[in-house]
Amino acid sequence: MWPLAAAGGVEIYPAGMRQWTGTRGRTDILLATVIGAPVAALSVFMAFVSAPGTRAWLVAVSLIVAHAALAARRVSPAASFGVVCAAFAMQTAVTGMFLVLPSTLVFPVALYSVCAFGSRRVVALALGAGVVGAVLVTVRFVHDGSVTAAGLRPDPFLVSGLLLAVVVAAWSLGLRRRTQLAYLAVLRERARHVAAEREERARRAVREERARITREMHDVIAHSLSVIISQAKGGRYAARSDPDRASNVLSTIEETGRHALADMRGLLGVLRSGETNDDGPGQEPQPALRDLPELLDRVRAAGLPVHHREHGTTRRLSPVAELAVFRVVQEALTNIIKHAGPTARAEVEFAWAPDGLTVTVRDRGPERRPVQESGHGLTGMRERIAAVGGSISAEPALGGGFLVTARLPYDARLFSDGGSA
């Protein structure tokens, strides 16, 4: 797998990834051994035949070093190219006949590699080194005594032209390969980003689902327990003086507990099946405005007088909007039961205006402090109403008590995707 490359010219192979133990290092060592060793052996043999003595040994050593340097042509392209240049400089100083040796092909291979895998600065320097080397080798080859002694009369322009053509070809092919690697790196980086975004969306969906379940559990448990606790308090005293009333209280507690149990089973069914639909198979339908009278009856049975009135023409809301309204009314009444005291009474008002619905829940009890937003109650109400494009406020009312006002548009279905509960 190729390392990632930045589009701005960063090295294709970062320093931290150039390791001999990697696949690239092993592959290049294998190629240098299988292909390079026979070529080096042939070149050394030709060197000893054409120039015996010390010069042959110097050429042989430089050839072996150059071939060995190719093993690092991808893991360390700049160093590999530098060693090859030094080896060929030694050969140029010793004799011009090295140009006819098969190992001369090592230089264009090293030049290609440094252009494909090295830094951009090294690429420019490599081209300059190749051009200068071609000129120097041409001069050395044309004026070398062993070349002329062999009866060769090379044309300097032809030799330099061929060498420069080889240099430019190797340089161009290296740049082309470099572009291919950069393009592949960009594609892999883009794929990595897409995968990361997909994972983040999945994590966000899990967080939203957990928040949804948390809101539902809070609404169900807080309301049901508040009603049960309120009824239990009254039933404890009624059991002594009015057994019939105590029986009614126990019936209310039983009914409230049964509703809470059914709602909890529905939530647990969602968790087990992984379904997120409000009305999925095997689940109880989510509460809606049609269930509001039953909710008010349970609250009244808990001892809180509730007056409900509506103004305007009733309009149809989306299921998610009806659920949001139901939960807001439920949470507001639950807070009244818990905080407003035994003398409080509640008012629930629906104002159906042409542009939207305004829901008001107010208690006529003693003055209360503003609600703290550290819990799930008010936060859940805000999230539900915001999900359907509405707004909500909760504040002490003038003259005592507390006032919760929620406003939402009739086209709330447009916002339901972000806050389906």
The enclosing H or E element of 290 equals none
- Residues 329 and 363 sit within 8 Å (Cβ to Cβ): no
The predicted structure's pLDDT at residue 4: 39
The predicted structure's pLDDT at residue 386: 85
| DSSP-derived 3-state class of residue 360 | strand
Choose the final residue of a domain: 197, 220, 254: 197
Q: In what order do the strands lie in the sheet with 346-353?
A: 306-312, 346-353, 356-363, 402-408, 391-396
350 located within any domain:
yes
- Same-domain status, 42 and 175: yes
The predicted structure's pLDDT at residue 265: 64
Total domains in the chain come to 2
The predicted structure's pLDDT at residue 91: 82
- SS3 assignment for 20-58: CCCHHHHHHHHHHHHHHHHHHHHHHHHHHHHCCCHHHHH
19 located within any domain:
yes
219 located within any domain:
no
Residue 208 pLDDT greater than 90, yes or no: no
185 located within any domain:
yes
Domain of 56, in residue numbers? 15-197
- Same-domain status, 187 and 326: no
41 located within any domain:
yes
Q: How far apart are CA 336 and CA 361, in angstroms?
A: 10
- Same-domain status, 187 and 297: no
Select the highest-mean-pLDDT range: 19-33, 169-183, 199-213, 281-295: 169-183
Residue 276 pLDDT greater than 60, yes or no: no
Choose the final residue of a domain: 150, 178, 197: 197
66 located within any domain:
yes
The confidence band for 325, taking pLDDT boundaries of 50, 70 and 90, is very high
Least confident of 55-64, 161-170, 247-256, 344-353: 247-256
- Same-domain status, 189 and 314: no
The enclosing domain of 415 has a CATH number of 3.30.565.10
pLDDT 10s digits, 285-311: 678 899 999 889 888 887 889 999 999
Choose the final residue of a domain: 181, 197, 213: 197
The predicted structure's pLDDT at residue 350: 96
The predicted structure's pLDDT at residue 135: 87
243 located within any domain:
no
Beta-sheet pairing, 346-353 with 356-363: antiparallel
- Same-domain status, 26 and 160: yes
Question: Higher model confidence: residue 320 or residue 33?
Answer: 320
Residue 404 pLDDT greater than 90, yes or no: yes
DSSP symbols for 385-397 = HHHTT-EEEEEEP
224 located within any domain:
no
